[in-house]
Amino acid sequence: MTDLASTLLARLDNDFAAERDPVRAAAMAAYMRDQFSFAGLPAPALRAVERSAFAGLPRPSAEDLREFARACWARPEREFQYAAVDYLRKHQPDADAEFLPVARELIVTKSWWDTVDPLATRFVGDLVRRHPLLTEVMDAWSADDNMWLVRTAILHQLNYGTSTDTDRLFGYCRRQAAHPDFFVRKAIGWALRQFARTDPAAVRAFLDAHRTQLSPLSIREAAKHL
């Protein structure tokens, strides 16, 4: 592990141990369907620990980001994964195009919306915007058997606004319109609803044209503000 990644991880280890709350941890685990262990830090405490852990350190290299993210994903407590996601978001400009396979690894490991969504919308999306050739990877993810990669592909343009590639957005939504999983259907609705802030007429037209293919959940979410 790089020196910077080791320093970050040691700081988090110390601070999470000091802030650990077993009662709150049990409640947090139950809320997440007991899929993950927690140290029991509420969001304000987690943010405070992150500010302290991230302070006064040099700008990370892409290798620092890789090593820190992987080390946090190896820890059992979910707060480590949250800290890794926040650090990646903070230092997204320091990630290179070759980081996308690492992001994929994080997305398909210990997968749930709480880490997948910020990675999709605030990290992968920005990475693809800076490296347009990565759109081909999004095309592949949009047809993948892993639903979290599909969700990421659908959501990665969520904050693109007028820069949205509408052919890809609508194409991904059409491709997965009949997907059986709630999280994919919800992602379709969310992505369309967000783009409707930029081009409501285009979203209305898409919904009208594909109403029989899209799930009621996707349509309901997409049309919330139309």
CATH number belonging to domain 1-95: 1.25.10.90
Average pLDDT over residues 40-67: 97
CATH architecture of structural domain 132-226: Alpha Horseshoe (1.25)
**pLDDT tens-digit map of 148-195:** 999 999 999 999 999 999 999 999 999 999 999 999 999 999 999 999
Using DSSP, state whether 59 is helix, strand or coil. Answer: coil
Predicted local distance difference test score (pLDDT) of residue 6: 98
Average pLDDT over residues 118-130: 98
> Tell me, what amino acid is at 83?
A
**pLDDT tens-digit map of 76-121:** 999 999 999 999 999 999 999 999 999 999 999 999 999 999 999 9
Annotated domain spans of the chain: 1-95, 132-226
Using DSSP, state whether 37 is helix, strand or coil. Answer: strand
Would you give the end-to-end CA distance of the chain in angstroms? Answer: 50
**pLDDT tens-digit map of 28-53:** 999 999 999 999 999 999 999 999 99
Sequence-distant (≥ 6) Cβ neighbours of residue 218 within 8 angstroms: 173, 177, 185, 186, 188, 189, 192
Count, residues in the chain:
226
CA 218 to chain centre: 19
DSSP string over 119-177 = HIIIIIHHHHHHSGGGHHHHHHHTT-SSHHHHHHHHHTTTT-GGG--HHHHHHHHHHTT
DSSP state of 39: -
> Tell me, what amino acid is at 226?
L
Predicted local distance difference test score (pLDDT) of residue 157: 98
Predicted local distance difference test score (pLDDT) of residue 26: 97
Predicted local distance difference test score (pLDDT) of residue 83: 98
Predicted local distance difference test score (pLDDT) of residue 48: 97
Quick one: pLDDT band at residue 65, thresholds 50, 70, 90? very high
